[in-house]
Chains A and B, each alone.
Chain A
Amino acid sequence: MSGGAAGAPKPLPSSGPKSLREMPHPLATSSSEEMGPALTPSPDLLLPRSIADKDLSLPNGTPVDTSSPASSSSLLNRLQLDDDLDGETRDLFVTVDDPKKHVCTMETYITYRVTTKTTRAEFDLPEYSVRRRYQDFDWLRNKLEESQPTHLIPPLPEKFVVKGVVDRFSEEFVETRRKALDKFLKRITDHPVLSFNEHFNVFLTAKDLNAYKKQGMALLSKMGESVKYVTGGYKLRSRPLEFAAIGEYLDTFSLKLGTIDRIAQRIIKEQLEYLVELREYGPVYSTWGGLEVELAEPLEGVSACIGNCCTALEELSEDMSEDFLPVLREYILYSESMKNVLKKRDQVQAEYEAKLEAVALKKEERPKVPTDVEKCQDRVECFNADLKADMERWQNNKRQDFRQLLMGMADKNIQYYEKCLTAWESIIPLLQDKPETK
């Protein structure tokens, strides 16, 4: 990403929560505490003066507090590259755990406990603990997409599971889902804009979410909180280079991830087939040992050893299925939703350009550009700024996530080989042992 004025933008450190807190969005509502250093998008997009001057509002009508200017000098105060940020700089912590099965007459489903700890003023209490089910998360995500259309919303694990193929209530499935849901909320928590979203607040705090949901629906229809400002039908003249680049990047990225997903699945499949053969192989040594006298112990030892390797292999395959594949898929989903946001951005720009052109044609208007067109222009600039900021944040988180993911994969393989190594090394003395007497 092209840098701002002073200091090259440093790559942001660790994934997830910590780093993002340090970078309140230029348009974010001011926090009572620190105005941390801000992320600076390209100067041509961000116009501090115009922000201060103009009557800006987010597309849904929320006025924007502009009292926290982006300053280039604050770039220098940017993050320590150290992964471990002290907890003091964070004021919101969210965790998903404790899955429980609920059996009702109509249906059976799982709920998860969502725990919040915070010092933010937006929250009445310092701690909350509520139970939520998948559809509540789904609702939240939809709300966020609606209310924050210029931002990248993290993905949820897949909604639909083919019944009969996967057991929705198996420990592995539930645990995988829990991890994904936890990741989802943590990503939102770390986002300087999304974490202040009122729907998010309610999600974390409300005892009865359903009531709020219903109320929200009513309000929606009344106030027309429609975000369908993606008017559609406008043709984009030229996409700014950087967004075109992002689009291309995301295309290739999700392609490559898809390939990696297929390779990983293939490896797991091959490993399981290898395991099947190993499970037959080990016992044959045992059978042979039964025929022998002096060789009985060594053969039995080899049999046991192979058994241990089988166990280790099983663990490796399970780990890959449960930890590796889901994260890959998450990022593929992420890419998809990001591409949609890019499309929306294109639409907003297209609308602006069309209106601008219409005005230019009308010649009667004096130099002062009508407010309507001005609003469009602001929308475009806002969108671009939000998107750029989110994109950079996403890139860094992605780097950290994949670094962790791939290191994890390497680790699991190392552990597998270490277990096998231990097993084989331990039987060498057994094999070399000479019987005392014949």
Chain B
Amino acid sequence: MESAAAEPSDSRPREEAAEEKEEEEDGDGAAAAPRSGPPPAEQPPAPAAATMEDCLSKKIEITVSEAEKRTGRNAMNMQETYTAYLIETRAVESQNEGQCSPVDSLWRRYSEFELLRNYLLVIYPHIVVPPLPEKRADFVWHKLSADNMDPDFVERRRIGLENFLLRVASHPVLCQDNIFYSFLTQEGGWKEMVNETGFQLKADSRLKALNATFRVKNPDKRFTELKHYSDELQSVISHLLRVRARVADRLYGVYKVHGNYGRVFSEWSAIEKEMGDGLQSAGHHMDVYAASIDDILEEEEHYADQLKEYLFYAEALRAVCRKHELMQYDLEMAAQDLTSKKQQCEELATGTVRTFSLKGMTSKLFGQETPEQREAKIKVLEEQIQEGEEQLKSKNLEGRDFVKSAWADIERFKEQKNHDLKEALISYAVMQISMCKKGIQVWTNAKECFSKM
């Protein structure tokens, strides 16, 4: 069977991706090439992607500065407790002016952040959209609360939400989005605004996407590999976080038991003459040692949060790959459809039946159709074929554009990921070094006390 002009996806590697990456977290390298056109959804035509200088993050300061417990009534008129977060924005003044501009602020809750993100996911399917901090406390070790209302959890979530906003604001494409801007600046009516965009309608159904995964014939190999990578990444980071939590738990136990030395040394020192002082003060150092683990592990939670961000980023990466598969599948289906229509047309024109079709059979059974009927059918088919060819062309174009822009963002993402994770590992090593130094200090002090026994 002759296949229609479904072009296989472009497998040429992007050339523009190798731009130098800036070190800072906020700014974004200019690696993202301008998009060739608006994304398939009905976003009003956007200008070319912002350069680093134009990124929103350079123009305004964004912080999520506070968290507050609130009670209210939910959609079913039931009372609920939730946490609201204060988003503050302030224009970045140039050095010359020397004035502090006023701070704008508004309150948002987690579900609104989720809405924003879902919107971005649908409208920008070719972008690896930054993830939100986890909805529920996961990978906790025993001393950490799994309670969403726990102040430590809320605090870490506050930081995560701020991080999310900064990520979006420094993304060359996402930062220009109006809905995003309104999220930061317009308290009332924002939800309605988002819903009015009708983005939910454009969301691909999960079933469709899943279907596509299994039945697409010629996906771009790079995306297939990337999807595989994102699966593996999710798996390995999950594993890492789980074991890390257990390690933290055990380490906590080791430190805390040393506290018992403090008490027994104190009791023992009471019956000793010359040894007493040394024992007593050594015991004090054991108490210090036991207490030190709390701060150490609290700091380590930040490291865990950094890993978690990339755990969730892996999911976003996967989503982009899936979108590609879906588009490719769509394309293949359209091509297949076009082929079969052309075939039908040919059969009707020449009178030969090449393939089995129900119509053909029924016409055999119930009598042939008239030449006029046949002509009409052919005409319809020819129209459809023409439409189909145009559609196929545009789908092909869309597909190629998608691949191009998605790959650009993926390259940007890769750079960011490598940079961020390296920084995370460095800070983890620094934490370990600090912990070792504290340990040496405490035990040296204790040894000094013992030497005076």
Interface set of A (CB-CB < 8 Å, partner B): 11, 249, 252-253, 256, 259-260, 263, 266-267, 270-271, 273-274, 276-278, 280-281, 284-285, 287-288, 291-292, 294-295, 298-299, 302, 305, 399, 402-403, 406-407, 410-411, 413-414, 416-418, 420-421, 424-425, 427-428, 431-432, 438
Task: Contacts A267-B254, A284-B239 given; indicate if A425 touches B433 (C-beta within 8 A).
Answer: yes
Render B424-436 as a binary contact track against A, CB cut-off 8 A, 1 for contact: 0110111011001
Chain A: which residue is nearest B229 at the CB level?
A: A291
B422 & A399 in contact (Cβ 8 Å cutoff): no
Kindly state whether residue B450 has any CB partner on chain A within 8 Å.
Answer: yes
B250 & A302 in contact (Cβ 8 Å cutoff): no
Task: Contacts A291-B229, A410-B446, A414-B444 given; indicate if A274 touches B254 (C-beta within 8 A).
Answer: yes
B257 & A406 in contact (Cβ 8 Å cutoff): no
Chain B residues whose CB sits within 8 angstroms of the CB of A259 once the complex forms: 260, 264
Task: Contacts A266-B257, A302-B425, A399-B453 given; indicate if A421 touches B250 (C-beta within 8 A).
Answer: no
B425 & A431 in contact (Cβ 8 Å cutoff): yes
Chain B residues whose CB sits within 8 angstroms of the CB of A414 once the complex forms: 439-440, 443-444, 447
A431 & B237 in contact (Cβ 8 Å cutoff): no
Tell me how far the C-beta of A302 lies from the nearest C-beta in chain B, rounded to whole angstroms: 6
Kindly state whether residue B251 has any CB partner on chain A within 8 Å.
Answer: yes
The 9 closest A-B pairs by CB, nearest first: A410-B447, A274-B250, A421-B436, A417-B439, A406-B450, A256-B268, A413-B443, A403-B453, A270-B253
Give the residues from 402 to 451 in chain B that come closer than 8 angstroms, CB to CB, to chain A. 418, 421-422, 425-426, 428-430, 432-433, 436-437, 439-440, 443-444, 446-447, 450-451
Task: Contacts A274-B250, A284-B240, A410-B444 given; indicate if A399 touches B437 (C-beta within 8 A).
Answer: no
Chain B residues whose CB sits within 8 angstroms of the CB of A417 once the complex forms: 436-437, 439-440, 443
Kindly state whether residue B353 has any CB partner on chain A within 8 Å.
Answer: no
Give the residues from 200 to 237 in chain B that come closer than 8 angstroms, CB to CB, to chain A. 229, 232-233, 236-237
Task: Contacts A259-B264, A270-B253, A288-B237 given; indicate if A406 touches B422 (C-beta within 8 A).
Answer: no
Render B39-68 as a binary contact track against A, CB cut-off 8 A, 1 for contact: 000000000000000000000000000000
Choose, from B127-135, B175-183, B241-249, B328-336, the stretch at the interface: B241-249
Which of B233, B246, B426, B453 is within 8 Å of A402, CB to CB?
A: B453
Chain A: which residue is nearest B452 at the CB level?
A: A403
Task: Contacts A277-B246, A291-B229, A414-B447 given; indicate if A302 touches B236 (C-beta within 8 A).
Answer: no
Kindly state whether residue B274 has any CB partner on chain A within 8 Å.
Answer: yes
A277 to B446, CA, bound (A): 28
A402 to B269, CA, bound (A): 12
Kindly state whether residue B271 has any CB partner on chain A within 8 Å.
Answer: yes
Tell me how far the C-beta of B452 lies from the nearest C-beta in chain A, rounded to whole angstroms: 9
A403 to B274, CA, bound (A): 11
B453 & A406 in contact (Cβ 8 Å cutoff): yes
A402 & B261 in contact (Cβ 8 Å cutoff): no
B243 & A284 in contact (Cβ 8 Å cutoff): yes
Chain A: which residue is nearest B251 at the CB level?
A: A274
Given A260-B261, A281-B247, A420-B436, 16 other A-B contacts at CB below 8 A? A249-B271, A253-B268, A259-B264, A263-B257, A267-B257, A273-B250, A277-B246, A277-B250, A281-B240, A284-B240, A285-B240, A288-B233, A295-B422, A403-B275, A407-B450, A428-B430
Chain B: which residue is nearest A266 at the CB level?
A: B257
Chain A: which residue is nearest B237 at the CB level?
A: A288
Chain A residues whose CB sits within 8 angstroms of the CB of B264 once the complex forms: 256, 259-260, 263
Task: Contacts A256-B267, A256-B268, A438-B18 given; indicate if A278 touches B428 (C-beta within 8 A).
Answer: no
Chain A residues whose CB sits within 8 angstroms of the CB of B451 once the complex forms: 403, 407
Chain A residues whose CB sits within 8 angstroms of the CB of B267 once the complex forms: 256
A interface, over-half SS: helix
Tell me how far the C-beta of B240 lies from the nearest C-beta in chain A, rounded to whole angstroms: 5
A256 to B429, CA, bound (A): 39
Kindly state whether residue B302 has any CB partner on chain A within 8 Å.
Answer: no
Chain B residues whose CB sits within 8 angstroms of the CB of A270 once the complex forms: 250, 253-254, 257
A407 & B275 in contact (Cβ 8 Å cutoff): no
B247 & A263 in contact (Cβ 8 Å cutoff): no
Which of B236, B433, B444, B450 is within 8 Å of A291, CB to CB?
A: B236
Chain A: which residue is nearest B269 at the CB level?
A: A256
Chain B residues whose CB sits within 8 angstroms of the CB of A252 once the complex forms: 268, 271
Kindly state whether residue B282 has any CB partner on chain A within 8 Å.
Answer: yes
Task: Contacts A298-B425, A406-B453, A431-B425 given; indicate if A418 touches B433 (C-beta within 8 A).
Answer: no
Interface set of B (CB-CB < 8 Å, partner A): 18, 229, 232-233, 236-237, 239-240, 243-244, 246-247, 249-251, 253-254, 257-258, 260-261, 264, 267-268, 271, 274-275, 278, 282, 418, 421-422, 425-426, 428-430, 432-433, 436-437, 439-440, 443-444, 446-447, 450-451, 453
Tell me how far the C-beta of A249 lies from the nearest C-beta in chain B, rounded to whole angstroms: 6
Chain A residues whose CB sits within 8 angstroms of the CB of B239 once the complex forms: 284, 287
A295 to B417, CA, bound (A): 9
Which of A11, A280, A413, A431 is within 8 Å of B426, CB to CB?
A: A431
Could you write out 8 A-B pairs with CB less than 8 Å apart? Answer: A252-B271, A263-B260, A277-B243, A287-B236, A295-B422, A298-B425, A413-B443, A418-B440
B274 & A298 in contact (Cβ 8 Å cutoff): no
A417 to B442, CA, bound (A): 11
Chain B residues whose CB sits within 8 angstroms of the CB of A287 once the complex forms: 236, 239
A218 to B444, CA, bound (A): 57
A431 to B418, CA, bound (A): 11
Which of B240, B251, B450 is within 8 Å of A410, CB to CB?
A: B450
Task: Contacts A399-B453, A424-B432 given; indicate if A413 touches B439 (C-beta within 8 A).
Answer: yes
A299 & B425 in contact (Cβ 8 Å cutoff): yes
A438 to B257, CA, bound (A): 49
Tell me how far the C-beta of A159 lies from the nearest C-beta in chain B, rounded to whole angstroms: 28
A288 & B444 in contact (Cβ 8 Å cutoff): no
Tell me how far the C-beta of B17 lies from the nearest C-beta in chain A, rounded to whole angstroms: 9
Tell me how far the C-beta of B239 lies from the nearest C-beta in chain A, rounded to whole angstroms: 5
Chain B residues whose CB sits within 8 angstroms of the CB of A302 once the complex forms: 425, 428-429
A294 & B418 in contact (Cβ 8 Å cutoff): yes
A425 to B426, CA, bound (A): 10
Tell me how far the C-beta of B324 lies from the nearest C-beta in chain A, rounded to whole angstroms: 20
A424 & B447 in contact (Cβ 8 Å cutoff): no
A148 to B264, CA, bound (A): 35
B429 & A263 in contact (Cβ 8 Å cutoff): no
A50 to B77, CA, bound (A): 103
